[in-house]
Amino acid sequence: MSRRSKSIFVLFAVFALVLALAVCVGAEDHGGIKDSGKCGENLTWVLYDDGLLEISGTGAMEDYTRGGAPWDQYKWRINDLRLNEGLTKIGDYSFENCYLPTDLIIPDSVVNIGEWSFNFVSSGGSLILGSGVTSVGNSAFRYAGFSGTLDIPKNLTSIGSGAFAGMAEINEIAVAEGNPAYCSADGILYSADQKKTDTVSGREIRRGYDPPDDRNHFG
């Protein structure tokens, strides 16, 4: 083996050792690892003993059917979710019915949020959508318990049917300036052609909000 090859080998060995130590330290911080695996070609998931579910790596998460996510058997143990930068798509049905008591932060690297991915999630925190999100699938956050203001990012131009429907704890809806597809007024999200959507604040839900139809309602 040449001197250059040996140097490269040593560098890779050192890198692998540092990475392994970092994982071990992280596991110790959370009481150890309960289970782990892959959830995409270049994505891994780790469930720690303290209830933190962490998704790391790059690229798109696999799509699942109801109850088919690899951590679904531990759903009762999950009490926090960390989605790291590098993730580009959140898979269908991935976190349905999970309990997430703190804020859910969707990283800026995420472009697509799959159907039913956070349906019926229980939470006492806020939903923070990253600036890179362009589409949210059907029923993605239907009846999710996130509270506070729902901020629609500038690049979010495709919201599926029922994506944010029934979120009774949301008290305000705000659309980022420059969003070409949506606007909001009085707790209701409107499409660019000034028609109601099914995304409304909790106040409107309690007032008996009428479902959207083809009429122009804005103004």
- 135-136/112-113 β-pairing: parallel
What pLDDT score was predicted for residue 88?
Answer: 98
Q: pLDDT for 175-199, tens place per residue? A: 999 999 999 988 889 998 888 888 8
How far are the Cα atoms of 54, 137, 203, 206 from residue 199, in angstroms, in the given order?
Answer: 29, 13, 12, 13
Q: How far apart are CA 36 and CA 54, in angstroms?
A: 9
What pLDDT score was predicted for residue 147?
Answer: 93
Q: Which two tokens stand for residue 85?
A: 């930068």
DSSP code string of 75-124: TTT--EEEE-TTEEEEPTTSSTT-B--S-EE--TT--EE-TTTTTT-B-S
Burial letters for 156-186: b for 16+ Cβ neighbours within 10 Å, e otherwise? beebbebbbbbbbbbeebebeeebebbbbee
For residue 195, the Cα-to-chain-centroid distance in whole angstroms is 26
Residue closest to 128 by CA, chosen among 100, 106, 161:
106
- 59-60/52-57 β-pairing: unpaired
**Consecutive H or E run containing 24:** helix 3-29
Sign of CA dihedral 58, 79, 67, 71: positive
Tens-digit pLDDT profile for the chain (219 aa)?
Answer: 565 555 544 444 443 444 444 444 455 576 799 999 999 999 999 999 999 999 999 999 999 999 999 999 999 999 999 999 999 999 999 999 999 999 999 999 999 999 999 999 999 899 999 999 999 999 999 999 999 999 999 999 999 999 999 999 999 999 999 999 999 988 889 998 888 888 888 877 777 766 555 444 443
With contact defined as beta carbons under 8 Å apart, do 146 and 167 qualify? yes
Q: pLDDT for 141-176, tens place per residue? A: 999 999 999 999 999 999 999 999 999 999 999 999
Residue closest to 104 by CA, chosen among 138, 147, 137:
147
